[in-house]
Chains A and B, each alone.
Chain A
């Protein structure tokens, strides 16, 4: 019958239109920004640097090994290594980044920096409302802007952050046990042979987690 297809099409459209008042399935529009869809946990957008504790500088996990800078496919990371050292989360003195810039106008959110980081220092953020009126300066994030606390990491990726914390705690426990054993051995040695030799410095093993 001529016009049958048009009638069918109109019926389908009418069904969807009427259905949108009763069924959530058929009403797919969300009135952003007043309304928002529920965030998805695995979402990734741009990288940030994680720090432990209160102080963004003292707790910064990054030791500026520059692996992410080398592996970054579009080369959007720029790191300047420090000359001096600061203690990391196990107390071992490590370098820190004097400058850590990510140009998010170049970054393509591929997550390879996160995968190659051996120190769990760089993670993916979920912030997407980054519009700015300064194309160059506004989209170039420096170390201060990139540093975000571990608590923040827990709020955006709770499952992943818990896993990372467990892994780091395990490593820390291992290092502490080793340090303790070394200290005991040194003490025993000192007791056996009195002019005391300088206490043996515990050697922290290089953390290996994170390389999926």
Chain B
């Protein structure tokens, strides 16, 4: 069986599959309990020798019908559940949901709350990118050490989250019309201290890894994602920008107050695993820049719109789609209100779920060992994929 014949025309520009002549195809089930799959995730892989000729992702092991849960309870009660979507970045999930509900009801957010959202959102991006780069290297076989350096930095940021929101990972911090608690000046000083130390961490990480010949040999030219396919497949986030498409929702939508900050959007040119790895490191540096500006400019004032309602929150009938640039890509919430206290339809558009669409296209023709790397470079969290 020729593998390329099973694919639709024009979908894939993967390396040509070498035909070894007569030979048997081997079907392997990678996962669901495989250390490299970042959760419970299975890939049904068909191999010809070492090469991938077919790959079908199978998921749903963590499916709990998050959307149905959201429809059965009040708008506020869904907020802590959004923490559990992408459990690495609970604060950006909170933000996306709060943004969608604020769009639905036309709610304003006070200035200081917007700044706090940017600060916690960018801290989330820093720790997510540090972690995903660390895990990528772990997938490559560098067990432990680089990952632990990334964890060390993440730990500092999680401590900041804990002292602000009360929880390290399940923050449940944002509310419709602001944030739950205000940051103390001591907390902001602590953030300034941590942010001041971040460039040093990025330098150390880059010095350690970027020119490492093993890393370059394993990642360059592997898992190439062409820009047209990335656009058509709705890939977003660092993965899209590594393919050279300039699309960052922070720059496009200017949601919140992102138009006030000076930052660049790093772009890749090859769209391979190495580019995706580098884009994350560069974005981490841009996030540090945004953090420095936000910490400099943060004004005093309330963190919650006094007109915002907590109890008995009933939006007027209507619908809204709100999206933000989460660390993994476009995270959107689509809400339909029928005027009652529960949303009629509550939909999450998860970035890692859509980004997985092109996993097969990227893997075809590569060796089995590269699949692990390519999956690592997509940066998925199964809590969000399976919902």
Contact = CB atoms under 8 A, between A and B. Distances in A.
Listed from nearest, the 6 A-B pairs whose CB atoms lie closest are A5-B212, A110-B80, A44-B166, A73-B77, A42-B166, A40-B163
B50 interface: no
Contacts of A111: 166, 172
Contacts of B155: 28
Interface in B167-181: 167, 170, 172, 175, 180-181
Contact of B208 (A9, A42, A110, A116): A9
B163 A41 contact: yes
A134 interface: no
B9 interface: no
Contacts of B166: 42-44, 111, 124
Contact of A4 (B79, B213, B304, B311): B213
A126 to B, nearest CB: 9
Given A2-B213, A116-B310, A212-B310, A71 B76 contact: yes
Nearest to B83: A110
A12 interface: yes
Contacts of A40: 159, 162-163
Nearest to B204: A12
A110 B172 contact: yes
B385 interface: no
A5 B163 CA distance: 38
Interface in A1-45: 2, 4-6, 8-9, 12-13, 16, 28, 40-44
Interface residues of B, number: 36
Contact of A115 (B180, B204, B213): B180
Given A28-B152, A28-B155, A115-B180, A8 B207 contact: yes
A16 B207 CA distance: 14
B101 interface: no
17 contacts: A4-B211, A5-B211, A5-B212, A5-B215, A8-B208, A12-B208, A13-B145, A28-B152, A42-B181, A71-B76, A72-B77, A73-B73, A73-B78, A111-B166, A112-B80, A115-B310, A212-B181
B337 interface: no
Nearest to A75: B73
Given A6-B212, A124-B166, 5 more contacts: A5-B211, A28-B152, A43-B167, A112-B76, A212-B310
Contacts, number: 78
B258 interface: no
B162 A42 contact: yes
A43 to B, nearest CB: 6
Contact of B311 (A8, A72, A73, A116): A116
Given A8-B207, A109-B170, A112-B80, A212 B180 contact: yes
A5 B304 CA distance: 50
Interface in B298-323: 304, 310-311
A25 B251 CA distance: 36
B174 to A, nearest CB: 12
Given A5-B213, A73-B77, A44 B208 contact: no
Nearest to A159: B184
Given A110-B170, A212-B304, A9 B77 contact: no
A5 B212 CA distance: 4
B353 to A, nearest CB: 23
B211 A211 contact: no
A116 B212 CA distance: 54
A16 B145 CA distance: 10
A112 B77 contact: yes
Interface in A29-85: 40-44, 67, 71-73
Interface string B181-207: 100000000000000000000001001
Most buried by A among B159, B167, B211, B212: B167
Nearest to B180: A212
A108 interface: yes
B323 to A, nearest CB: 24
Contacts of A112: 76-77, 79-80, 172
A20 B165 CA distance: 30
B214 interface: yes
Nearest to B175: A212
Contacts of A115: 180, 310
Nearest to A1: B213
Contact of B167 (A2, A44, A116): A44
Contact of A211 (B170, B213, B311): B311
Interface string A108-133: 11111001100000001000000000
B162 A43 contact: yes
B213 A42 contact: no
B293 interface: no
Nearest to B155: A28
B142 to A, nearest CB: 8
Interface string A169-212: 00000000000000000000000000000000000000000011
A28 B158 CA distance: 14
Interface in B122-169: 145, 149, 152, 155, 159, 162-167
A16 B149 CA distance: 10
Contacts of B83: 110
Given A2-B213, A28-B155, A116-B310, A73 B163 contact: no
Contacts of A71: 74, 76-77, 311
